[in-house]
Amino acid sequence: MWDRNQMASRAALELADGMYVNLGIGIPTLVSNYIPEGIDVTLQSENGMLGMGPFPTEERIDPDLINAGKQTITELERTSYFSSADSFSMIRGGHIDMAILGAMEVSEKGDLANWMIPGKLVKGMGGAMDLVAGVKRVIVIMDHTNKSGDSKILKECTLPLTGKSVVHQIITNLCVFNVKQDGLEIIEYADGVDRKKIEEATEAKILN
Amino acid sequence: MWDRNQMASRAALELADGMYVNLGIGIPTLVSNYIPEGIDVTLQSENGMLGMGPFPTEERIDPDLINAGKQTITELERTSYFSSADSFSMIRGGHIDMAILGAMEVSEKGDLANWMIPGKLVKGMGGAMDLVAGVKRVIVIMDHTNKSGDSKILKECTLPLTGKSVVHQIITNLCVFNVKQDGLEIIEYADGVDRKKIEEATEAKILN
Amino acid sequence: MGKIYKSASEALDGILFDGMSIASGGFGLCGIPENSINAIKESGVKNLTVASNNAGVDDFGLGILLQTKQVKKMISSYVGENAEFMRQYLGGELELEFNPQGTLAERMRAGGAGIPGFYTKTGVGTVIAEGKEHKEFGGDMYILETGLVMDLSIVKAWKGDEAGNLIYNKTARNFNPNAATCGKICIAEVEELVPVGQLDPDHIHTPGIFVNRIFMGSHEKRIENRTISER
Amino acid sequence: MGKIYKSASEALDGILFDGMSIASGGFGLCGIPENSINAIKESGVKNLTVASNNAGVDDFGLGILLQTKQVKKMISSYVGENAEFMRQYLGGELELEFNPQGTLAERMRAGGAGIPGFYTKTGVGTVIAEGKEHKEFGGDMYILETGLVMDLSIVKAWKGDEAGNLIYNKTARNFNPNAATCGKICIAEVEELVPVGQLDPDHIHTPGIFVNRIFMGSHEKRIENRTISER
């Protein structure tokens, strides 16, 4: 089984040199700690920044410089700023190579639900619907099951969707799936996890 | 009868303090020479400039600083530059108070034709269609008749239209018309011009 | 040039009315028009429809207009930081129209640009698409979203000049340039108001034509999520 | 960061093919990608569809690709300065699609922004509207225009950095930022190429994400209509 950091570091292996990447809130944010040596990646923040730097030291905190998670951050030498409309032109227009997002549920067709639980949690989709609709490759990082042990990888999502057939890869604490035309393909097992354990934790159709 | 400069100076009386104005190529450009004392007007150039200044002296010519007529110009203290898409957001979005344009033909309904003569002159509409569709008030300056003496103010335009029901006022060498629901209203006669002379030179319906 | 006002309340004088619609710049608490929001609260105007990406927090930003129940409806993409919002919404006291963030930004831009409708892939196959016109382009399905034109827009910039030209600072730009274009009237508050000629014409983010009134305010610039690193 | 090339011909290497579509920045002869246009001429690629507000003049700018008959079709708003263009068009050798200037700029922006269609009032009731879908919004009639996505865009900026960030000078900005977004590949030529960190992040007009290849060129910057005043 992988922990949060191991999941993030596994996701980082999907990065390639020169990519423009948008990282969602939560575990996806950790991916930036594991960018492989020799790989240069530019992070986009959908509130209007390309070239996001690390968190600031206490002295360098700037209230005018935050990321999409409202966290204080820093700029890099390559950084540019732009409006929200311009930011989503990049996203919707297919200029971002990869988005790595968290999820509540993913279906075997690549449907994604990560923005609301009717009657319980009504925070809003933020930029998630735009990201999954526009970004070239969408990777989800999440625990394989919820706190009650139910699978989050389903035949059909039960929660309101963020996007239909939008997820390309799922990285969980148990394994890595590629989303294929007719189901999910296991391409990697987490340490100490076998096929049986994945089957038990997965409602969706596994191809291999 | 008015000459070019008198027509331009008459048009300048339509300007009000604080207005944002787009001036077309030709006689409309001359309007900037007659802006009344105490009236502050900001000129927009649709190639991406707000706050257009006068022509430069020889030493100040800058190939990167031209107006929509491709003439070298200068900037003012208030000037801002922007892209063509942003420029036409201003125009199409109704943020420009007035456009003063030349014309080949205008109809009694305010239809305007000023961009092509089929088979003879194929230059293109440039920004004229956007201007007449988006600007709050459109004034045409032109000679009342063409070189053969035929009226350019018609019941229906014969040339391909630039816009339908878009002209609010027509300033010619003979008079000033306001375009009303059901025809044209003379609101001013040029020096030495009488009603009969205007009637002879006008095919369109005159209301008064 | 007659655009300069002394304060938010002066700038808003004669503009506010019950039931009006307002677009606000800002993302989270970053780059929000603090002074205009406070003055709107003081005015007591009510039944507002407010388009803003977020709704502030309970005691700062647009959240204070929720506390006083001056807002009838929010058009937002994310309201997760506002407990009062959630309470009013779940209790049926407040209308909420969720827009995907990019759709909201583009709706503001479109409204300001004279574009009454545009097609986007965002939200296709989700509740966002329900009841909206669908259309295929190049084999893919898109939905029709509409441009937003609001009675008023309130924005916050870093520097502004007498002609209304605005420059934003870093990610405090966010929705401000887009909101500025979609109001029938736009009021800008700035940290620094300078004479014309002080701003480089190539650096201006919002040309003065969009700004009807401008004033200099003092800004708390509260930080929502202070995150630091060791070095 | 691997985006820097030594010359236009190096930057265009492997990208050009017969029948391709190209969006070009520039207005008149101002801010045009002179070097890329020259290199495209040298390459001999043909049957091009070119979207550009103007078509240059006979011996400069896009006009030189008309002289060599490399262009099959132009998408432009104004071609009045180009006698060769007129000759080929009236002789049926060249296709021409007139777009209103604002519609052309917005089509480029829309294509780059993932918006396949938008409604505009521009051109309603004219030949431009013929065959286009009409739709009423708020009692007014609008027509549907489509986003432009081109195989290649070529733009010219004043300064650029290693990350592809671009800054334009004065009215040489014009269509360049919009064209830059709508090409599947974008090649930028600049007067000055600087290391990252030299451009202020708040002053950048085209973020580097849109620029695939960048090179420094020498620019004639010919003036089309030299107009001077006495003082």
Q: What percent of chain A has pLDDT over 90?
A: 95
- Note whether C31 contacts A73, CB cutoff 8 Å: no
Q: How far is D96 from chain A (nearest CA, A)?
A: 27
Put simply, the answer to whether B66 touches D169 (Cβ < 8 Å) is no
Inter-chain residue contact C102 with A125, CB threshold 8 Å: no
Nearest residue of chain A to residue C89 (CA atoms):
A122
Complex ipTM, two decimals? 0.97
For residues A145-154, give the mean pLDDT. 96
Q: Give the mean pLDDT of A189-203.
A: 96
Among A164, D29, A18, A57, smallest CA distance to C129 is for A164
- What is the residue-averaged pLDDT of chain A? 96
pLDDT of residue C230: 76
Shortest Cα distance from D127 to chain C (angstroms)? 20
How far is Cα A63 from Cα A47, in angstroms, rounded to an integer? 14
What's residue C231's pLDDT? 61
Q: What is the pLDDT of residue A144?
A: 98
- The 10s digit of each residue's pLDDT in D149-177 is 999 999 999 999 999 999 999 999 999 99
- Mean pLDDT on A84-110: 98
Q: Do C79 and A49 touch (CB under 8 A)?
A: no
- Residues of D within an 8 Å Cβ radius of A: 1-2, 109, 111-115, 161-163, 165, 181, 195-197, 201-202, 204, 207-210
- Residues D13-58 pLDDT 10s: 999 999 999 999 999 999 999 999 999 999 999 999 999 999 999 9
Q: Report whether C66 contacts C94 (CB < 8 A).
A: yes
Q: What is the mean pLDDT of residues B172-185?
A: 97
Chain A residues inside the 8 Å CB shell of D204: 80-82
Which residue positions in chain C have pLDDT lower than 50? none
Q: Over the stretch D97-149, which tens digit does the pLDDT of each residue have?
A: 999 999 999 999 999 999 999 999 999 999 999 999 999 999 999 999 999 99
Residue contact D125–B84, C-beta within 8 A: no
Known catalytic residues of B are: 46
The pTM (predicted TM-score) of the whole model is 0.98
Q: Is the pLDDT of residue D231 over 70?
A: no
pLDDT digits (tens, 9 = 90+) for B20-63: 999 999 899 999 999 999 999 999 999 999 999 999 999 999 99
All chains having 3 or more CB pairs closer than 8 angstroms to chain D? A, B, C
B50, B80 contact by CB (below 8 A): yes
According to the model, what pLDDT value does residue C1 have? Answer: 58
Nearest by CB to residue C125, choosing from A87, A125, A164, is A164
CB contact under 8 A, A50 and D208: yes
> Smallest Cβ distance to A61: which of C89, C158, C223?
C223
- Across chain D, mean pLDDT equals 96
C92 touches chain D (CB under 8 A): no
Of the residues A14, A46, A77, A199, only one is catalytic, namely A46
User: pLDDT-derived band of residue D1, with 50, 70 and 90 as boundaries?
Assistant: low
- HEC sequence for chain D: CCCECCCHHHHHCCCCCCCCEEEECCECCECCCHHHHHHHHHHCCCCEEEECCCCCECCECCHHHHHCCCEEEEEECCCCCCHHHHHHHHCCCCEEEECCHHHHHHHHHHHHCCCCEEEECCCCCCHHHCCCCEEEECCEEEEEEECCCEEEEEEEEEEEECCCCEECCHHHCCCHHHHHHHEEEEEEEEEEEECCCCCCCCCCCECHHHCCEEEECCCCCCCCECCCCCC
Measured in angstroms, the CA of B201 and the nearest CA of chain C are apart by 37
CA distance B83 to B89: 10
Mean pLDDT of D179-201: 98
pLDDT of residue C189: 98
Choose the closest CB to D114 out of A20, A81, A94: A94
